[in-house]
A and B are shown apart, each in its own frame.
Chain A
Amino acid sequence: MPQQLVRLSILFLTLLAALVIARSYLVPATFGEIGHYRTAAVAANASQPLVYAGREVCEICHTEQAQKFAAARHQSLSCEVCHGAASGHVEAPSDRKPPAPRDRGYCPLCHGYNPSRPTGFPQIDALTHNPGSPCIKCHDPHAPEPPRVPQECGACHGEIARTKAFSSHVTLECTQCHEVSERHKVDPRASTPTKPKAREFCGTCHAAGAAALEEVPQVDLTSHWPRYVCWQCHYAHYPEVR
């Protein structure tokens, strides 16, 4: 074999060996076993300690509360929503007691009025709703019930009530246009109020020639957009709005 080939192959072999040795040092253990990552990282992520115990763990000891809770309006809540993460309490039940929020600051996080919340979600204005009293004075957080059925629609539909107060429809009762069942007051979503189904309903005042005050605008129902119900275009709680 020519000498230069021997020298070259020695050089190549040395480089190859250096590469293999360097690789064994640089590539971490368990890298590339499943994919382009350290397999041990999966276990490292999975071994993080639990902080929230989970509702099912609370229910093992607090069976009575759990039963009461399961039938109440807050049934979809986890205990730890209000009482905080409770893994510590599970490990040392008597040493680490979970806190319970008793001031007015906590409940409005969910139940304070905010127009971005979905319609029908029970909300109050924390500034005007019995100021100074803690929520738990009237409401049992484990089985919350409205203390009494809302008397006026505005208790829940505050924004509509406030809007209507500035409109020319201010004198109209809600029930003039909406049929509301008793059930709606205690279970709003189970029975929703009706809306006028026919144009003739608005027409009792607003049709041309109907008996009404002079300032009530009137249109000819047969020619004025006959295919639509009035409230599809006119916002009845504030009819002046464009």
Chain B
Amino acid sequence: MNRLIQIEKKPANAPEENSVARREFLKQCLRASPLLVAIAHVAAQEGAETAAEDSPAEEHSYGMGIDISKCIGCGRCADACKTENEVPREPYFFRTWIERYVITTDGEVTVSSPNGGIDGFPAAISERGILRTFFVPKLCNQCANPPCVQVCPVGATFTTEDGVVLVDKDYCIGCRYCIQACPYGARFLHPITHTAEKCTFCYHRIRNGKLPACVEVCPTGARIFGDVRSMASPLTRFQRLNEVAVLKPHLNTNPKVYYANLDGEVR
């Protein structure tokens, strides 16, 4: 208490000394201002440079987090994916789709995905009691150890340096080996170009600093996109705050699509 009072009194005791110091300070500031502007300019440039340096692909490894407990099965992701990537509208071709799991009290598991969930799901009616029921969005798992890339005879499907598995449409011979090899059923043959097609994490969007279309439109934030290598990424936060699991871990494909609140029945 005493000390506080003393400190407050001090400027009042020596007003002249203080005002001189202030004038000095302002003068020095004025002299230094061009220097400050220069420093700020350099700093801004450096910032721009680091932003540009951020983009080298090899520094990233993109992945997705999916919170099953937030998915409402509205199918907006599957719809947006088809719009963004010009996927044929027929109900056989999906880069991402939603499955509904219905588990009855006698342990029977029914999985359905009418038109990938784009038109919604009928309210589940079962004569036996429903034990659990939920939606599971599916897409290419962007495996770090992808079987589809291993089997491609011509090198038309590959993992980019930022960890996204892509298809080279101009070089694919349409042999369908990769479609057979994918344990997640995430690939299909495009009916017009006759080349393999799959989720690219909207590579054209993420390279331009945008979110994949499915993540952009997900109304409940069930899908999280980010860089698994960056501690600041929303995906790393998702992995930190949830117990995450991947699909078919025993296949050693090392998927980079992480599910939170994943039921044991999900295949």
Contacts and interface: CB of A to CB of B under 8 A. Distances in A.
Contact of A34 (B72, B73, B161, B203): B161
A35 B159 contact: yes
Interface stretch (A114-122, A167-175, A193-201, A207-215): A114-122
B168 A44 contact: yes
A81 interface: yes
Contacts, number: 124
A85 B210 contact: no
Contact of B200 (A31, A45, A84, A241): A45
Contacts of A84: 83
Given A81-B217, A109-B75, A116 B102 contact: yes
Interface string B73-105: 111100010011100000000000000111000
Interface in B156-196: 156-161, 166-171
Contact of B216 (A28, A80, A241): A80
A55 B210 CA distance: 10
B171 A45 contact: no
Interface in A50-88: 50-52, 54-55, 74, 76-78, 80-81, 84-85
Given A80-B216, A109-B74, A52 B84 contact: yes
A28 B171 contact: yes
A12 interface: no
B124 interface: yes
Interface stretch (B31-39, B130-138, B233-241, B245-253): B130-138
Interface string A203-232: 000000000000000000000000000000
Contacts of B158: 35-37, 41
A78 B74 CA distance: 14
A48 B167 CA distance: 13
B171 A38 contact: yes
Point out which of A35, A42, A74 has the most chain B C-beta atoms below 10 A from its C-beta.
Answer: A42
Contact of B76 (A34, A81, A116): A81
B123 interface: yes
B171 A52 contact: no
Interface string A74-111: 10111011001100000000000000000000001110
A48 B204 contact: yes
B120 A112 contact: yes
The 5 closest A-B pairs by CB, nearest first: A37-B158, A41-B168, A48-B204, A116-B133, A110-B74
5 contacts: A52-B216, A54-B210, A54-B216, A85-B83, A109-B75
Interface of B: 57, 69-76, 80, 83-85, 100-102, 120-121, 123-124, 129-130, 133-135, 155-161, 166-171, 200, 203-205, 207-208, 210-211, 213, 216-217, 219-221
